[in-house]
Structure 1
């Protein structure tokens, strides 16, 4: 299904990409893999020499709570900070290391960033298959037998609903090896330790510590199924020792990790590779690539991915960088194409999916106070915007951002692009002052305003919000006449009719279109549309439908 509110591709160009720097807040938590897609970055660890990375290069930055990280990027740079699981550091490199990133790995790295900062996961694994193994006759699984597993079932524990608690839970699901105290978690999500503990218990029936333990054990099952040995799994999921994992695993499932692995691999086809396990495997490959030992081939394809059904308490802007995807809200499916950015409305339960060899990135959020949105809204960006939008995503979802980063920038960027695309087929003045007036008119095209006589035929309606003609300087009026061939009032009328045509072609009812472009009454809109296009809104829409058959 086509989005109910969408605009065709525009020809605008992005602003320049500013320099950025890394916040030190997360330095002790985990290792960092920095990959420079374009431009250049500078890395300095604990006062040592500066390592300069150019496009196509990466750096492994080890986790060390005693070392100070200094990471900066030059203007024009897109650099992806990727955070492997905290346990990967035990198998990775212990020193700051530069390496080359082959081109075949680059889209995979972009997708890895997406998977780390969003609820997306892959569908290539069935926990039910392993649950069946644990439950089958003769299997010594007292922890699973004879009772309803409830909130401590085999799969991942129930997610809390509270905003701060859910943010913590999502981060632990992505990386169960993170070993922060409740107090540090609370500081990261702008909450309090007391509130986090209360929300975990109220929403899941589990204390925070118990929830984290079950999260780690669920991840341990995935890594064991992927072929990791017990020592590696213990590090990957946050246990200090093999013995600690073994005790907890047997207490939960009635099998030791070794027994579980032996039973699993005795059954062909039982299980598979989760996104988390696949990411760990490919991180291993990256580490080998950094060491230039048996350099692995690039992934042949990117698997499909999707989010669970969920709601957000803010509007989320998601952009398709490559391939295609979809957004399911209720029984409606909205298609997402390459280059299209989609506002996903807050408080609407939805599923977002990516098809094979497709990549998306989150560009930012908007509160319900800043953006009034009840249905998805789309805008298309040309490929010229790719690097800039990646930079926006990195700034919005990581600690690598400009000093003057403004979270509202995404909202303004989207509004500007919609404005530019609304002006298609309507000549725009080139005079900077006249163009500013035109852009303001387009931004506020649907707002009611004062009566006007810019529409011929004696029928009056409310002019959309904007600068009244009487307040516009004479040279701006002259610029509109000289550069567009229309008066300001006539230009505004043409812009409204162009937008009305696009909305009607997209299937919007005439009454809805009338309201969207600032008309209080449908008959007035119909008369104005008929004068401009030579046929009524209904006739125009019927003709568009007939032409598409």
Structure 2
């Protein structure tokens, strides 16, 4: 997998952004300003004006409506804290010590990325396996997964979003109908997507996730009542019954055995986050004496996305595992993870990654990971991209596809994989410029390039520049159609203002209309069209 440097040395300016409380859970909210200025409004209270290094704490019961507005050049992180955070009862402004700032960035990452830990499963399996009198009957435990393995994520976007939110906060107690509304789906579709993607019903998946989280919290030293509340059980008795049915011992016995055992159990990110949230409250109160350590090594469950996902390493290092292949990721590297490929992303200790955005298969044709190295001067802008993509705090004219602009050279190169590229520097520059702007119809301008560029195209590709442009458009069009994009959308993507003109050009080259080509591809995925250009 090639690693490209970003093709510009200076990051774009960070625009103003805003958000409000619509659609967010009623939880404690912490807003931290890394750079610039933000204004936080809470109901009818005075506005909090926050500058770099400052934060404000808003208790769960301290507001009914809030809005965040940031000035240009500002990076502000909205952090929804876990239930049970024992902070001040009133809205509080505070200074964030420098040593805590990277931890807050990682906290944001955990809000939007479902990470699990290393080192827990084997120790817990060994400890509990010795005490489980008999395996549960199939009717009692229909879950086909190993009891200490975190459940897989569904592939469908709506179901996966629900699963990720439940991993971050197992205590959320919504019905399937309520979850379906939030996921812009129907209850029937949501249930079907969970079963098809994980082998579990929604209820089985949620219970499995809650009990895995309970093991993590008990291993971290939380008492049974705290754990029951943190993972979403209404009573201690109900939690004890479910835990005992699943694992054998009661939660109390498990905690006692774990404390008495010599097994070393690393805390998972979810459990460490719960512990460190308690420490964060000392920062809010102004009496923190030392910086918190960052989270330990972590990874995602194995899963596949239905969109290409872009992930950036801000600090430390990580990896991307696809099948038997490991792709290393280091500081500053952003990686496009292709849609449809089952994978695991991991972080090493004291490392931080952030998701920057996503792209559909119609926007980007990608068969293997694509990496770009960004310089440190891009850090603030990339954090702004991550916050915009995942938190709701974004510019009014936010376009999720803007992230592709940062990869113009690399996306153009991907588009040209099967189109001959000239090696002459001037001709190659003209080719890359065309590929970057292939969705803009500029044929009327005639591409006024020097004669030597035209000559280089003829000598090195066997095509005139005009014929090369036509071949490139048709190559991209075929990829988009094979990926399932509508012909009308493909026409716009490759620079045709009107679908009939595109259909005529495509049919003239391939002997099939765009729709007929697409139907043939669906019927025979292995089919390959000969390129007469």
Normalised by the length of structure 1, the TM-score is: 0.73
Q: How does 1:83-482 map to 2 (within 5 A)?
A: 83-85=80-82, 87-89=83-85, 91-123=86-118, 125-137=119-131, 143=136, 150-151=143-144, 153-155=146-148, 156-204=150-198, 206-269=200-263, 271-293=265-287, 295-300=288-293, 302-415=295-408, 440-441=433-434, 443=436, 454=452, 459=459, 461-463=462-464
Equivalent-residue separation in structure 1 for 2:188 and 2:140 (angstroms): 32
Asked if 2 retains the 8 angstrom alpha-carbon contact of 1:42 and 1:52, the reply is: yes
Change in CA separation of 1:206 and 1:325 when aligned onto 2, cut-off 3 Å: closer
Residues 222 and 38 of structure 1, relative CA distance in 2, 3 Å threshold: same
Post-superposition Cα deviations, 1:261-280, rounded to whole Å, max 9, x if no partner, equal 11221112253311100111
Structure-2 separation of matches of 1:158 and 1:309: 6
Distance 1:230 1:339, change over 3 A: same
RMSD: 3.8
> 1:50 aligned to 2:50?
no
Aligned to 2:419: none
Is this contact kept in 1: 2:103–2:293, CA < 8 A? Answer: no
Q: Which moved more, 1:456-465 or 1:197-206?
A: 456-465
Q: What CA distance in whole angstroms lies between the structure 1 residues aligned with 2:368 and 2:203?
A: 39
The C-alpha deviation readout for 1:159-216, integer Å capped at 9, x for no partner, is: 4444322221121112101122322211222111222133334555544334323321
Q: Contact 2:20/2:65 (CA < 8 Å) preserved in 1? A: no
Q: Secondary structure at the match of 2:15?
A: coil
Counterparts in 2 of 1:11 and 1:466: CA distance versus 1, 3 Å: farther
Query: Would you say the 8 A contact 1:12–1:417 is kept in 2?
Result: no
Q: 1:12 to 1:520 in 2, by over 3 A?
A: farther
Q: 1:444/1:257 Cα in 2 relative to 1: closer, same or farther (>3 Å)? A: same
> Which whole-Å deviations, capped at 9, do the CAs of 1:272-293 have from their partners, x for residues lacking one?
3111001111111101221234
- Shift of the 159–390 alpha-carbon distance from structure 1 to 2, 3 Å rule, reads closer
Secondary structure, counterpart of 2:459 in structure 1: coil
Alpha-carbon spacing, 1:337–1:271, altered in 2? closer, same or farther (3 Å): closer
2: distance between equivalents of 1:333 and 1:321?
Answer: 19
What does the per-residue CA deviation read over 1:299-319, in whole Å, with 9 as the maximum and x for residues that have no partner? Answer: 345533323332211111122
**Counterpart contact for 2:143–2:204, Cα < 8 Å:** no
**Aligned position for 1:76:** 73
Q: 8 Å contact 1:10–1:380 — kept in the other structure? A: no
- Comparing 315-324 with 326-335, greater Cα deviation is found at 326-335
Q: Flag structure 1 segments of 5+ consecutive residues without an equivalent.
A: 421-425, 429-435, 469-518, 522-549
Runs of 4+ in structure 1 off by over 6 angstroms are: 144-149, 416-420, 436-439, 447-452, 465-468
Note the C-alpha offset of 1:64: 4.3
On the 8 A contact 1:144/1:253 being kept in 2, the answer is no
Residues 6 and 407, structure 2, Cα contact 8 Å, conserved in 1: no
Cα distance in 2, alignment partners of residues 68 and 240 from structure 1: 27
Q: Residue 509 of structure 2 corresponds to which residue in structure 1?
A: none
Q: Which runs of 5+ in 2 are unaligned?
A: 414-423, 470-530
Q: Residue 57 of structure 1: CA displacement?
A: 1.6
Distance 2:211 2:54 in 1: 35
Counterparts in 2 of 1:8 and 1:67: CA distance versus 1, 3 Å? closer
Distance 1:97 1:234, change over 3 A: farther
The superposition leaves residues 350-378 of structure 1 with CA deviations (integer Å, 9 ceiling, x where unpaired) of 23233333222111101001111112222
Q: 1:171 to 1:301 in 2, by over 3 A?
A: closer
Matched residues in 2 for 1:76 and 1:193: separation?
Answer: 42
Residue 8 (structure 1) aligns with: 5
Q: Is the 8 A contact 1:11 1:382 kept in 2?
A: no
Secondary structure in structure 2 of the residue aligned to 1:401: coil
8 Å CA contact 1:323–1:338 kept in 2: the answer is yes
Q: Given that residues 87 and 284 in structure 2 are in contact (C-alpha distance below 8 angstroms), is that contact kept between their aligned partners in structure 1?
A: no
The 3 A distance-change label for structure 1 pair 463 and 322 is farther
The C-alpha deviation readout for 1:237-268, integer Å capped at 9, x for no partner, is 12233344234333433433222211221112
How far apart are 1:37 and its partner, in Å?
A: 0.6
In the alignment, the residues of structure 1 paired with residue 199 and residue 321 of structure 2 have an alpha-carbon distance, to the nearest angstrom, of 30
In structure 1, C-alpha distance between the alignment counterparts of 2:330 and 2:463, rounded to whole Å = 36
In the alignment, the residues of structure 2 paired with residue 427 and residue 201 of structure 1 have an alpha-carbon distance, to the nearest angstrom, of 53
Distance across 2 between alignment mates of 1:211 and 1:256:
21
Distance 1:349 1:70 in 2: 38
Shift of 1:15: 2.2
